[in-house]
Amino acid sequence: MGQHSAFSLLPIAAHHLDTVASTMDAAKEILKQPPPAGLVYVTARVQTAGRGTQGRVWQSPPGNLYMTCVVSLEALSEARLPTLPLEAGLVLHRLIVSRLPFEARPALWLKWPNDLLLQTGPVATKVAGMLIEVHRGHVLVGLGVNLAEGPEIDDGGRPAAGLAELSDALHPEKRLDIAEAFASGLAETLSPSWSTEKRRETIKAWSRITRWNEPVKLRGRSPGIPQADATVMPLQLTEQGHLEVRHADGRHETLVAEYLW
């Protein structure tokens, strides 16, 4: 366990583990005791039951980064929850961009609510994903970054890729540096109190980094919902950070990230 708080108001504590089922569960174990104030994060070398959004499996071999950050909702304010994935996505994007060679930087973008994609060919590959959960008055931000390799994901056939081949700064040996930088960036972003102004800035910054001409596949929604598996076009973020999309028949729908359901 280490302490790093140099540039952030929220103090940070780290737990580095070897093999866990999921860092989400390891973080929940920590929450059985009153956790220290600030941001606590857990990393693991390997996960045996890593999970992604919508109950998907997140394969977790050694060499990639697996971590979960825990922050108290009291420190955050509940009003911030809907835009939290956007804030966390911006931190992640900034961090990975800074470690990529200059020419690869424009290829990195965020897909709502919190996938990090790299567009080096006609099809964008997934290089990182986030899973956000709320548990015992805390928000858990789980992050998986493909460094050594991009394990297959059940995501409509979207390919995944590892980032290490693009830059030494994204080598698996840098895994814990990257984890620390993400935790520090998140703590720094989340430390100032929430305001309408900050919400607008977040939405604007995020909107510049996504690709509005890339269709979004809706998958795995309850069968009762019309067009549960439709492909839709993203239109804009709402004031709350939800995604407004257009269906093929012209109908608009607002998508809400699953941890807010």
Residue 85 lies near ligand BTN (rule: CB under 6 A): no
> Under the criterion CB under 6 A, does residue 50 sit at the interface with ligand BTN?
yes
Cβ-defined contacts of 112-120 (< 8 Å, 24+): 112/210, 112/216, 112/234, 112/237, 112/243, 112/255, 113/85, 113/86, 113/89, 113/243, 113/257, 114/85, 114/86, 114/88, 114/89, 114/257, 116/89, 116/92, 116/145, 118/161, 118/163, 119/211
66 near ligand BTN (CB under 6 A): yes
Give the shortest CB-38-to-ligand BTN separation in angstroms: 20
Strand pairing of 39-47 and 12-20? parallel
| Cβ closest to ligand BTN, residue 24 vs residue 88 | 24
Work out whether 43 is an interface residue with ligand BTN (CB under 6 A): no
CA distance 89 to 119: 17
Q: Among residues 29 and 239, whose Cβ is nearest to ligand BTN?
A: 29
Q: 51 near 22, Cβ under 8 Å?
A: yes
> Does residue 26 contact residue 174 with C-beta atoms inside 8 Å?
no
Q: Single out the residue of 8, 30, 52, 75 in contact with ligand BTN (rule: CB under 6 A).
A: 52
CA distance 120 to 123: 8
51 touches ligand BTN by CB under 6 A: yes
Cα angle 32, 83, 134 (rounded to 5 degrees) comes to 20
131 binds ligand BTN (CB under 6 A): yes
> At 28, which amino acid appears?
K
**Which residue of this chain has its Cβ atom nearest to ligand BTN in the complex?**
129
**Structure-token match 């920590």, residue found:** 30
Among 59, 68, 146, 189, which residue interacts with ligand BTN (rule: CB under 6 A)?
A: 68
What residues contact 123, with CB distance under 8 A and at least 6 apart? 158, 159
Comparing CB distances to ligand BTN, the nearer of 17 and 107 is 17
The interface mask with ligand BTN, positions 147-186, x = CB under 6 A, is: ----------------------------------------
Q: What gap in Å lies between CA 46 and CA 79, rounded to an integer?
A: 34
Judged by CB under 6 A, which stretch of 32-40, 97-105, 139-147, 249-257 contacts ligand BTN?
139-147
47 part of the interface to ligand BTN, by CB under 6 A: yes
- The residue from 24, 163, 187, 243 that contacts ligand BTN (CB under 6 A) is 24
- Based on the shown chain and the rule CB under 6 A, indicate whether residue 23 belongs to the binding site for ligand BTN: yes
67 vs 148, beta carbon nearer ligand BTN: 67
Chain positions contacting ligand BTN, by CB under 6 A:
22-24, 47, 50-53, 56, 58, 66-68, 115, 129-131, 142-144
